Amino acid sequence: MKFFVDTADTDAIAELNDLGMVDGVTTNPSLIFKSGRDIKEVTKQICDMVSGPVSAETVALDADGMIAEGRELAKIADNITIKVPLTWAGLKACKVLSGEGRMVNVTLCFSANQALLAAKAGATFISPFIGRLDDLNLDGMDLIEEIRTIYDNYDFETEILAASIRSVNHMKEAALIGADVATAPPNVIKAMANHALTDKGLDAFLKDWEKTGQKIL
């Protein structure tokens, strides 16, 4: 499973990228707002840092506006993925932009039917939002599983990009189901390394080592 980092924090991206944990980056207007920086400036910096896809989101509500904004965003770098919402207008924009050979991430997906439409429209990525479904007492992972089954049934090339990830369990479950990509905040990716038994075992090893009175260096 590929890891995308869901942030516009370039320092956090750089840290994970140095460890080989970044296959791509996703941004959205809220993340750009948190960064306090110009969208084109910060997006260009991110594109220069990573070789994989970098999602930059359109904000127009009509298809023509999304297409125009998408073409403008695509000028930033070759690895830009244009992000459009899963609306009828967004599907129209996806069809045009993907037809021009551009990567398109169709976002805000909450049903398998929506994901099916996105694949038919030529989406490069479909972004089902796990956490937001969980907020409604629905199991977001059920949606990932449904989309996986449908896409496998018909050999769709659209990649499932599990989004709105809130926990390390979301990451594990997405991987078990077979999501192609998971996009998560830096803190969730880093938390995957944590385990209480690892800490306990390390503490025991260090106490025993101290008793030997030895040094490695």
pLDDT digits (tens, 9 = 90+) for 86-141: 999 999 999 999 999 999 999 999 999 999 999 999 999 999 999 999 999 999 99
Reference 25, options 92, 89, 76, 98; nearest CA is 76
Q: Can you read off the two tokens belonging to residue 171?
A: 């990451």
Q: How far apart are CA 211 and CA 102, in angstroms?
A: 61
Q: How far apart are CA 36 and CA 177, in angstroms?
A: 36
Burial of residue 60, with CB atoms counted within 10 A of its CB: 0-12 exposed, 13-18 middle, 19 or more buried: middle
Q: How far apart are CA 66 and CA 30, in angstroms?
A: 18
Reference 15, options 140, 190, 182, 134; nearest CA is 190
Of 20-29, 30-39, 95-104, 130-139, the poorest mean pLDDT is in 30-39
The answer, yes or no, to whether residue 36 has pLDDT greater than 90, is: no
Of the CA atoms within 13 Å of residue 208, those in its CB half-sphere come to 6
3-class secondary structure, 106: strand
**What's the confidence (pLDDT) of residue 43?**
95
Q: Tally helices (H) and strands (E) across the chain.
A: 11, 8
CATH of domain 2-212: 3.20.20.70
**What's the confidence (pLDDT) of residue 30?**
87
How do the domains of the chain map onto residue ranges? 2-212
Which residues are catalytic, by number? 83
Chain-centre distance for alpha carbon 136:
21
Q: How far apart are CA 179 and CA 201, in angstroms?
A: 32
Residue whose structure tokens are 């960064």:
35
For the whole model, what pTM was predicted?
Answer: 0.94
Average per-residue pLDDT in the chain? 96
pLDDT digits (tens, 9 = 90+) for 202-211: 999 999 999 9
Q: Sign of dihedral through CA atoms 158, 57, 113, 132?
A: positive
